[in-house]
Structure 1
């Protein structure tokens, strides 16, 4: 997965997307993940992701890849 992100020293990352953060937020919510859309932060094409366990992050990565492949042909 080749997405841009902002460097962070906190327990979260802000990731830039080729789609809106709202769309990814809605999709991930159906999969049991809650992220924060960048819309409220003034960055509509991004999401803030809190770092979880290795297993959680691998599952989240799989779900994001599926979403992007289905919605944008990535």
Structure 2
């Protein structure tokens, strides 16, 4: 069961990476968690920007915006 879930997440991440690169996004990092993969990108496409939600990230007293969208079952973020 665990190996099947890992394989499913790897396939989800690969599909999302392909979708993102086809639209000109640069993938910086892919992280795997128990629920769904997380992909960090730079320069999002217009189609991502229109479906994204803004969240705030705080660290060492500073705050910055982080944008989150879903692609192929994966979370995609950019700052």
**TM class, shorter-length:** 0.3 to 0.5
Which structure is higher in strand share? 2
Q: Which has the larger radius of gyration?
A: 2
| TM-score w.r.t. length of structure 2 | 0.32
Please give the TM-score of this superposition, normalised by the length of structure 1. 0.33
> Per residue, is there more helix in 1 or in 2?
1
